[in-house]
Amino acid sequence: MVRRVIEARLQQLSLHAQELAGLAATVGRAFTFDVLRHASGADEETLVRGLDELWRRRIIREQGADAYDFAHDKIREAAYAALSSARRRLFHRKVAEALAAVHSADLDAVSGRIATHYEQAALPDFAIRYYYRAAEFARRVFANAEALDLLEHAIALVGQLPASEQHSPLAAQIYETQGDVLGVVRPSPPPLLPSRDGGGDAPGGGCAATVVTQLRERHRTQWTPTPFAQAPFRIHSAGSPSSVM
């Protein structure tokens, strides 16, 4: 029922305002005047007239000098759902290009968003480049988990490229970077050291559990204990550590 009411409200808009609402919905819940102007290609007067209609009909709200958002998520969802698949791809491409133009001085900060729009536009080659750029930016600010997620998106898209392009220098660099990030996000625990004399004392004069404790302390800034490291150990009668139970 709510969806039908919203759809009816959108259908009462002029054709220009309906298209503008669909383009704004493609940008996201919030959008700026500059991004919408670049994406729409409309002159300033035409764009202001369309935005004013959307504002008067309470489809969007003003958020500061040149920013807007939808009055409700369901309105945005309905405006986006009204677009055909072909128009969605077109709008996503236009939004990606607009974001790159508006934020050209600080492209790294919006590379993830640009990549997402290019992916939705069915342009994987462009999306891969921007996902990789966003991942490199995330690494520089030590957001390694986010960098890994972005790299995994890029790798998934590499698999969609023609076979001849799946082994490009960029693809190789993405795989190499993924390995580097995995080494930070999901490091392997260091191996246990054998006892020096085969007797009951492990290195440093302690048992296996003591060795694990010492290694944790030594590598506390480089190693997050895994369930393996926290599992109980069975000690042989000879005193050497055995396998995990």
Tell me: the pLDDT tens digits for 142-183? 999 999 999 999 999 999 999 988 999 999 999 999 999 998
At 241 the pLDDT is: 35
Q: Is residue 89 domain-resident?
A: no
Please state the three-class secondary structure of 145-193 as a single string.
HHHHHHHHHHHHHHCCCCHHHCCCHHHHHHHHHHHHHHHHHCCCCCCCC
The answer on pLDDT for 202 being more than 70 is no
Residue 112 scores a pLDDT above 60: yes
**11 part of a folded domain:** yes
User: What's the CATH code of the domain at 25?
Assistant: 1.10.10.10
**225 lies in a domain?**
yes
Domain count, the chain: 3
Lowest mean pLDDT among 5-9, 184-188, 194-198: 194-198
Which helix or strand (DSSP H or E) is residue 33 part of?
helix 33-40
Q: CA-to-CA distance for 157 and 124, rounded, in angstroms?
A: 6
The three-state secondary structure class of 30 is: strand
Q: Are residues 9 and 79 in the same domain?
A: yes
What average pLDDT does the chain have? 83
Q: Which residue has the tokens 């790798």?
A: 155
Domain boundary among 28, 53, 84: 84
C-alpha–C-alpha distance, residues 135 and 150, integer Å = 6
Report if residue 195 sits inside a domain: no
Please say if the pLDDT value at position 229 is more than 50: no
Domain limits for position 160: 103-186
User: What pLDDT is stored for residue 216 in this prediction?
Assistant: 46
Residue 53 lies in a domain: yes
- Given strand 67-70, what is the order of strands in its sheet? 30-32, 67-70, 60-62
Residue percentage of the chain with pLDDT more than 90: 71
For residue 64, what pLDDT is reported? Answer: 85
Question: What pLDDT is attached to residue 179?
Answer: 93
Distance CA 49, CA 36 (A): 13
Q: Verify that 160 and 223 share a domain, yes or no.
A: no
Question: Nearest CA to 10 among 25, 32, 30, 28?
Answer: 25
Q: Are residues 19 and 70 in the same domain?
A: yes
Binned at pLDDT 50, 70 and 90, residue 187 comes out as confident
Phi then psi dihedrals of residue 76, to 5 deg? -60, -45
76 shares a domain with 109? no
**50 and 121: one domain?**
no
Q: Is residue 125 part of a domain?
A: yes
pLDDT at 174: 96
Does a structural domain hold residue 193? no
Where residue 193 falls among pLDDT bands split at 50, 70, 90?
low
pTM for this structure? 0.75
Task: Please report whether residue 90 resides in a domain.
Answer: no
Q: Are residues 138 and 59 in the same domain?
A: no
First-to-last C-alpha distance (Å) of the chain: 58
**Token pair recorded at residue 50:** 């369309």
Q: Which two tokens stand for residue 6?
A: 């919203």
What pLDDT does 85 receive?
97
Q: Which of 83, 12, 13 is nearest to 52 (CA)?
A: 13
CATH of the domain at 113: 1.25.40
221 pLDDT more than 80? no
Q: Given this model, what pLDDT does residue 107 score?
A: 96
Q: What is the pLDDT of residues 48-82, one digit of tens each?
A: 999 999 999 999 999 988 899 999 999 999 999 99
- Please tell me whether residues 116 and 152 are part of one structural domain: yes
Query: Both 108 and 180 in a single domain?
Result: yes
DSSP bridge partners of 30: 69
Q: Are residues 168 and 215 in the same domain?
A: no
| Co-location of 181 and 207 in the same domain | no
Last residue of a domain, one of 51, 84, 117: 84
Same domain, 142 and 209: no
Of the listed ranges 27-31, 81-85, 214-218, 230-234, the one predicted with least confidence: 230-234
- Within this chain, do residues 68 and 143 fall inside the same structural domain, yes or no? no
Confidence check: pLDDT of 244 > 50: no
